[in-house]
Structure 1
């Protein structure tokens, strides 16, 4: 049920309030909105009368928002941004259905997006919108139909579709290993690059390769892409997933610092809310991904 109309002010009055709060004066707001100063004042007065709370006060020839007006303006800003995004999605999709996916940056760029091209060709009636996040997705808050999850089946309240396991390999700029791949012991003597979301990844790699290493230090990054870029510039050795490493090897910016790949702890999954029926666009993507094997 939609709220009573008395609680639904006009968009123009909300824009006036938000602009005054953000720009600091009614004069600046009027210039941005292509209105006169008096028109902005009338919009604020109409909004104040409708809400029934003092939203602004006069200071000399200008206007200043009250504490209530400032708090309301901050809420309004979020509403206007949400409305603009919703309008943009409708315009971008047109008559087609939309599918909103939350993706992890490197996996989304190098593994998922190339495959989505074939999906788009098979389903031209569906527009796929991608939202990149580093922090965990929250289906109760984020407007997503599904998301990419890496790790174990430890996300409560979701359904899983396994997409890919992961292999990793140490990679660096060619000048760091001029004679080609080195041994585990020689790697310990090189600067190692670390990823925030994979604490202990290097320690695990060395242990699996029979050369335990502890308290390994080095530069810290929040994304694989940034870490790969630093490696290409010669800052150190990055432990990269195969889909990113292979792309960098083909470009010649990085080379293997060790001779072989190793399996990594964790799997990439497509996940979606268990208590929410997947819409037809998501059902189509699930079936298509399952058919890819």
Structure 2
């Protein structure tokens, strides 16, 4: 940290710069920070002197960041947000820690959430904050410690734990199956198929596993498994769904297998985290617990 401290401005300089860049006004930044306009101006000049370049274009009664200043402001804003969240988390839970976890919506609600009370009971000092994400993101920009990831074992800048495999099945409501009486995969080519935006090739892979080409009809597109499940229950078509996420619907008879022909997905479920958080105690505890839970459920 000795070298780094030479390039570590004080938080007062950074807060003044971030506010001025966001508001494009030294006067407005001063009002927000409860300082005088001259104080903010001096802090910006001190930061520019440290960096060796101008951060703002000064135009009569207004200022605006330079291109380099705007890029710097984005990074500083993210860093200040992370510091503020870390402080808030510590104040809320000084004897433990706060884990910021991104989850896949249906996996989170159907599989993870019912099991979380066991984790929280075993680790009463840890606060777990959840947010839903459908797509990968940048750990350097998002205030997250870890994420549940479905896909290939590749996430730049992150480490991965394999959690479980997945088997998908073609599911529909009982009335639709009775009406069509599907007996072969080829018959599904002419059926109404429900497609997930996040898995556009899923049906093509399923048909290919039966030696068939991709269906020609486009079919309805949906953006989440929960919506696809409800659409299938409503009789809008056949959805290719992870079996472990629809066990309750199958048990109740809301859904049935259009054809008893499961397929293992090429992708897997992983826990991903940035290397910089590898020693973070709440993350270590959650990793151990999650691996044990998925092993008990039959993974990986």
Which stretch of the first structure deviates more once superposed, 103-112 or 241-250? 241-250
Structure 1 residue 186: Cα displacement: 5.6
Matched, 1:29 2:34: no
Three-state SS of the structure 1 residue aligned to 2:54 is: coil
- Cα gap change, 1:47/1:145 in structure 2, threshold over 3 Å: closer, same or farther? closer
Within 1, Cα distance between the matches of 2:155 and 2:42?
51
Within 1, Cα distance between the matches of 2:108 and 2:132?
8
How many residue pairs align between the two structures? 288
Three-state SS of the structure 2 residue aligned to 1:214 is: coil
**TM-score, normalising length from structure 2?**
0.70
Within 2, Cα distance between the matches of 1:278 and 1:62?
44
Question: 1:107: which partner in 2?
Answer: 107
Which stretch of the first structure deviates more once superposed, 2-11 or 264-273? 264-273
Question: 1:240: which partner in 2?
Answer: 241
Within 1, Cα distance between the matches of 2:5 and 2:162?
44
Three-state SS of the structure 2 residue aligned to 1:168 is: strand
- Cα gap change, 1:160/1:80 in structure 2, threshold over 3 Å: closer, same or farther? closer
Structure 1 residue 117: Cα displacement: 1.8
- Where does the alignment leave 5 or more consecutive residues of structure 1 unmatched? none
- Cα gap change, 1:12/1:146 in structure 2, threshold over 3 Å: closer, same or farther? closer
Structure 1 residue 51: Cα displacement: 3.3
Contact 2:192 2:237 in 1 (8 A): yes
Q: How does 1:11-160 map to 2 (within 5 A)?
A: 11-99=11-99, 101-130=101-130, 132-136=132-136, 148-150=148-150, 160=161
Within 2, Cα distance between the matches of 1:63 and 1:139?
31
Matched, 1:193 2:198: no
Structure 1 residue 44: Cα displacement: 1.8
Contact 1:169 1:240 in 2 (8 A): yes
Within 2, Cα distance between the matches of 1:212 and 1:154?
30
- Cα gap change, 1:229/1:42 in structure 2, threshold over 3 Å: closer, same or farther? farther
- Cα gap change, 1:146/1:27 in structure 2, threshold over 3 Å: closer, same or farther? closer
- Cα gap change, 1:225/1:42 in structure 2, threshold over 3 Å: closer, same or farther? farther
Three-state SS of the structure 2 residue aligned to 1:177 is: helix
Within 1, Cα distance between the matches of 2:43 and 2:265?
58
| TM-superposition CA deviations, 1:69-115 (whole Å, max 9, x none) | 33432332222233233334434543114555554332232112211
Contact 1:120 1:126 in 2 (8 A): yes
Within 2, Cα distance between the matches of 1:204 and 1:78?
40
Within 1, Cα distance between the matches of 2:59 and 2:155?
54
| TM-superposition CA deviations, 1:239-289 (whole Å, max 9, x none) | 22224334556899x64372646243347454568x967955133543455
Within 2, Cα distance between the matches of 1:36 and 1:228?
57
Three-state SS of the structure 1 residue aligned to 2:53 is: coil
**TM-score, normalising length from structure 1?**
0.71
| TM-superposition CA deviations, 1:117-142 (whole Å, max 9, x none) | 22222332344444544345788998
Within 2, Cα distance between the matches of 1:104 and 1:8?
36
Question: 2:167: which partner in 1?
Answer: 166
Structure 1 residue 28: Cα displacement: 3.3
Question: 2:228: which partner in 1?
Answer: 227
Contact 1:99 1:145 in 2 (8 A): yes
- Where does the alignment leave 5 or more consecutive residues of structure 2 unmatched? none
